[in-house]
Amino acid sequence: MTAKMQHIATTGADPRLAGGRLTIDLDALVANWLLLAERSKPARTAAVVKADAYGLGIIHVVPVLWKAGCRTFFVALAEEGLRVKAVAPDAQVFVLNGFFAEAFPVYEQSNLTPVLGSLQELASWKALNAGRTEKLPYALHVDTGMNRLGLTVNEAIRFAGESKDDKPILLITHLATADEQKHELSQRQFESFQKLREHFSGIESSIANSPGIFHSLNAGYELSRPGVAMYGGEPVSGIANPMRPVVTSEARIVQIRTGLKGETAGYGATARLTRDTRIAICSVGYADGYLRSASGSGVPLRQTLNNGGCGFIAGKKVPIIGRVTMDLTSFDISELDEGEAKAGDYIELFGSNISLDDAARAAGTIGYELLTSLGNRYHRRYLYSGNEI
Ligand SMILES: *Cc1c(COP(=O)(O)O)cnc(C)c1O
């Protein structure tokens, strides 16, 4: 936190009453987006803000991105699209998760653009537009190797030949393996998409998610679609993360107690204390997205991966003892000097000292899941250099 930063908004739980707090650095978020935009050039850069901007809040994230020059947003659901429009009325908003006819009036009224991903959706969209003199724009999703959403490549080629005045405004595909730089599927997907684009001449296309932007084959499209890297997550596994951390998650110490050598701690008595142990009991648990799989012991993951998660306080990493529970998690603070931690202090769960991705790995998962699981019991502080958003 630099001095010029101003505390612009606090939401979520009352800080006096909450167990955890999140500090969300919107300057870092904007810097990350600008870095991604730079790397994406000459393509334009959108922002993926599905799942309430990966748990950080559409109403806080979208306005600062808009101010930084982002004009295009992707969401999973039309409901989320409305929330983007509420704070950025002129934004172009693409809805990824399919199209159902009953939602048409909302797309029409609120100027949302569906990403159509099957022949059935295309037919439905076409029929609903039939009565209109001016057809509403849509994007087309083609599946080049993920087997999730999208027309098959052959369906898309056939469609390109048949469509005339009902062409998409954007052609997209999604990469399955871009986070593993060497995976051969990415190459096949890039090649397949490249060929497909020839059938849709004059139509903009989009392929790169966060890892795609860092991929060696990253080129030849007009719009990139980063999500996780903007929020500080690692875009590519096994390579130093070039992004700035955006979220700091901290939990409040409720009490500090000493367990004696030979005793156990927590549910299942899975943590056996091998020395007299000072334990910080913190007000965070799996109900706050601090996953039970990060437990120090007593969960299946610890039979394959030895170390559980850890916290950070007074310049030191402190391991989780025993099982993470719904509302409480215990950390071994024996390595701290007496007085370096007391009830009421905060322990960092992830942030600038423990990376989001390291915290996720300790729980056997990915940063995306930690962010989108945060929930609403935290007090949230949003930092931004200007007051005005
Ligand atoms: C989620 C998503 C993205 C963003 O992916 P990140 O890995 O978070 O950058 C881009 N495109 C599609 C279709 C998505 O579903």
388 Cβ neighbours under 8 A, 6+ residues apart? none
Mean pLDDT value of segment 311-329: 98
Task: Report residues whose beta carbon is within 6 angstroms of any ligand 1 atom.
Answer: 48, 50, 96, 174, 209-210, 225-229
Around 337, how many Cα atoms within 13 Å sit in the side-chain half-sphere?
A: 4
What does the pLDDT read at residue 134?
92
- pLDDT, the chain, mean: 94
Query: What percentage of the chain reaches a pLDDT higher than 70?
Result: 97
Quickly state the pLDDT bin for 319 (edges 50, 70, 90): very high
**Element spanning 186, H or E:** helix 184-199
d(CA 329, CA 327): 7
Examine the residue annotation and report whether 50 is marked as an active-site residue of this protein.
yes
Is residue 389's pLDDT more than 60?
no
What does the pLDDT read at residue 1?
41
Q: Tell me the per-residue pLDDT of 79-103, one tens digit each, with 9 for 90 and over.
A: 999 999 999 999 999 999 999 999 9
d(CA 194, CA 197): 5
Cis bond leading into 114, ω under 30°? no
Q: What is the CA radius of gyration of the chain?
A: 23
Cβ(216)–Cβ(232) below 8 Å: no
To test the pocket of ligand 1, the residue of 32, 35, 96 to mutate (highest count of ligand atoms within 8 Å of its CB) is 96
Examine the residue annotation and report whether 107 is marked as an active-site residue of this protein.
no
Q: Tell me the per-residue pLDDT of 101-152, one tens digit each, with 9 for 90 and over.
A: 999 999 999 999 999 999 999 999 999 999 898 999 999 999 999 999 999 9
Q: Classify the phi-psi angles of 169: left when phi > 0, otherwise alpha if psi is within -120 to 50, otherwise beta.
A: alpha
Q: Which atom number of ligand 1 is nearest to the Cα of residue 115?
A: 13
SS3 state of residue 231: helix
Say which residue, 131 or 387, is predicted with more confidence: 131
Q: Which atom number of ligand 1 is nearest to the Cα of residue 229?
A: 9
**CA 360, chain centre distance (Å):** 12
Burial class of 8 by CB neighbour count within 10 A (0 to 12, 13 to 18, 19+): middle
Cβ(332)–Cβ(319) below 8 Å: yes
Mean pLDDT value of segment 251-271: 98
Choice among 50, 221, 368, 378 that is catalytic: 50
48: CA distance to ligand 1 center in Å?
6
Task: Considering only the C-alpha atoms of the chain, give the largest distance between any 2 of them, rounded to a whole number of Å.
Answer: 79
Is residue 386's pLDDT more than 70?
no
d(CA 332, CA 278): 6
What does the pLDDT read at residue 388?
39
Nearest-CA residue for ligand 1 atom 12 is: 174
Integer CA distances (angstroms), 364 to 105, 157, 165, 211, 294, in order: 42, 40, 49, 20, 7
Query: Residues of CATH 3.20.20.10 domain(s) within the chain?
Result: 26-231
**Element spanning 112, H or E:** strand 112-116
Q: Tell me the per-residue pLDDT of 295-312, one tens digit each, with 9 for 90 and over.
A: 999 999 999 988 899 999
Neighbours of 235 (CB within 10 A): 25
Integer CA distances (angstroms), 223 to 1, 27, 206, 309, 317, in order: 32, 23, 5, 37, 41
Choice among 67, 126, 167, 267 that is catalytic: 267
d(CA 294, CA 361): 8
CATH of domain 26-231: 3.20.20.10
Q: Which atom number of ligand 1 is nearest to the Cα of residue 179?
A: 7
Is residue 5's pLDDT more than 50?
yes
208: CA distance to ligand 1 center in Å?
8
174: CA distance to ligand 1 center in Å?
7
Cβ(347)–Cβ(253) below 8 Å: yes
To test the pocket of ligand 1, the residue of 170, 205, 225, 370 to mutate (highest count of ligand atoms within 8 Å of its CB) is 225
- The residues pairing with 314 across neighbouring beta strands, listed in sequence order, are none
Per-residue burial over 73-89, b = 16 or more CB atoms within 10 Å of its CB, e = otherwise: bbbeebebbbbbbeebe
Q: What is the DSSP secondary-structure string of 56-92?
A: T-HHHHHHHHHHHT--EEEESSHHHHHHHHHH-TT-E
209: CA distance to ligand 1 center in Å?
5
Nearest-CA residue for ligand 1 atom 6 is: 227
Query: Residues of CATH 2.40.37.10 domain(s) within the chain?
Result: 247-354
The answer to whether 146 is annotated as binding is no
Q: Classify the phi-psi angles of 238: left when phi > 0, otherwise alpha if psi is within -120 to 50, otherwise beta.
A: left
SS3 state of residue 210: helix
Q: What is the DSSP secondary-structure string of 154-213?
A: HHHHHHHHH-STT--SEEE---SSTTSTT-HHHHHHHHHHHHHHHHTTT-EEE---HHHH
151: CA distance to ligand 1 center in Å?
18
CATH class of 247-354: mainly beta
Cβ(175)–Cβ(212) below 8 Å: yes
With the C-alpha atoms ordered 317, 323, 324, 330, is the resulting torsion angle positive or negative? negative
Q: Tell me the per-residue pLDDT of 228-245, one tens digit each, with 9 for 90 and over.
A: 999 999 999 888 999 999
Q: Which atom number of ligand 1 is nearest to the Cα of residue 233?
A: 8
